[in-house]
Amino acid sequence: MEKLGYQVTRHAYGLDTAFEVLSGSEGRTVNFNAEYDALPEIGHACGHNLIATASVTGFIATSYVLKTFGIAGRVQLLGTPAEEDGGGKIDLLNAGAYEKVDVSLMMHPMSEDDYLDKGALGCAGFSNVASYSVHGTYHGVSAHAGATPWEGVNALDALVSAYVNISMLRQQILPSERIHGAIVEAPKPSSNAIPALTKTEYTARSPTIRGAKELAGRIRQCMEAGALATGCKLDVEEKAGYADLRVNEPLCSSFQQHIAANGIQVLKSSGPVAAATDQGNVSYVKPALHAIIGIPVEDECKNHTPGFAKAAGTSVAFERAVSSGKAMAMTALDVVMDDEFYAQVQQKFEEDKKLR
Residues 236 and 281 in one domain: no
Residues 124 and 253 in one domain: yes
Range of the domain at 215: 130-240
- Do the beta carbons of residue 13 and residue 97 sit within 8 Å? yes
Residues 335 and 299 in one domain: yes
* Edge-to-edge strand list for the sheet holding 130-139: 178-185, 197-206, 130-139, 233-240
pLDDT band for position 258 (cuts 50, 70, 90): very high
CA distance 278 to 296: 25
How many residues in the chain?
356
Largest CA distance in the chain: 86
H helix intervals, 201-356: 209-230, 249-260, 279-283, 306-311, 315-337, 339-354
Looking at 173, 205, 240, the residue that finishes a domain is: 240
Residue 89 φ/ψ, nearest 5 degrees: -70, -30
> What is the per-residue pLDDT across 214-252, written as a single tens digit (0 to 9) for each?
999 999 999 999 999 999 999 999 988 899 999 999 999
pLDDT band for position 116 (cuts 50, 70, 90): very high
What's 154's DSSP letter?
-
CA distance 351 to 135: 34
Specify the 3-state DSSP secondary structure of 138. Answer: strand
Residues 12 and 76 in one domain: yes
Report the relative pairing of strands 122-128 and 267-273 from DSSP bridges: parallel
Residues 116 and 152 in one domain: no
The count of structural domains within the chain is 2
What pTM, to 2 d.p., does this model score? 0.87
Residues 120 and 248 in one domain: yes
Element (H, E) at 233: strand 233-240
Indicate whether 350 pLDDT > 80: yes
Residues 74 and 155 in one domain: no
Element (H, E) at 270: strand 267-273
Specify the 3-state DSSP secondary structure of 92. Answer: helix
CA distance 61 to 79: 17
Residues 31 and 120 in one domain: yes
CA distance 308 to 167: 32
Indicate whether 189 pLDDT > 80: no
Element (H, E) at 165: helix 155-169
Residues 111 and 164 in one domain: no
Residue 78 φ/ψ, nearest 5 degrees: -115, 120
The CATH number for 160's domain is 3.30.70.360
Looking at 196, 217, 240, the residue that finishes a domain is: 240
Strands, DSSP E only, in 35-189? 74-79, 103-111, 122-128, 130-139, 178-185
Residues 122 and 16 in one domain: yes
Looking at 220, 240, 260, the residue that finishes a domain is: 240
- Do the beta carbons of residue 24 and residue 73 sit within 8 Å? yes
Residues 149 and 173 in one domain: yes
Count Cβ atoms below 10 Å from residue 237 Cβ, excluding itself: 10
- Do the beta carbons of residue 205 and residue 276 sit within 8 Å? yes
- Do the beta carbons of residue 84 and residue 227 sit within 8 Å? no
**CA neighbor of 325 nearest in space, from 75, 51, 104, 72:** 51
Indicate whether 319 pLDDT > 80: yes
**CA neighbor of 341 nearest in space, from 293, 291, 287, 290:** 287
What is the chain's mean pLDDT, rounded?
A: 96
> What is the per-residue pLDDT across 125-139, written as a single tens digit (0 to 9) for each?
988 999 999 999 999
Residues 263 and 333 in one domain: yes
pLDDT band for position 85 (cuts 50, 70, 90): confident
Residue 32 φ/ψ, nearest 5 degrees: -115, 120
The tally of CA atoms less than 13 A away on the side-chain side of residue 99 is 6
The CATH number for 303's domain is 3.40.630.10
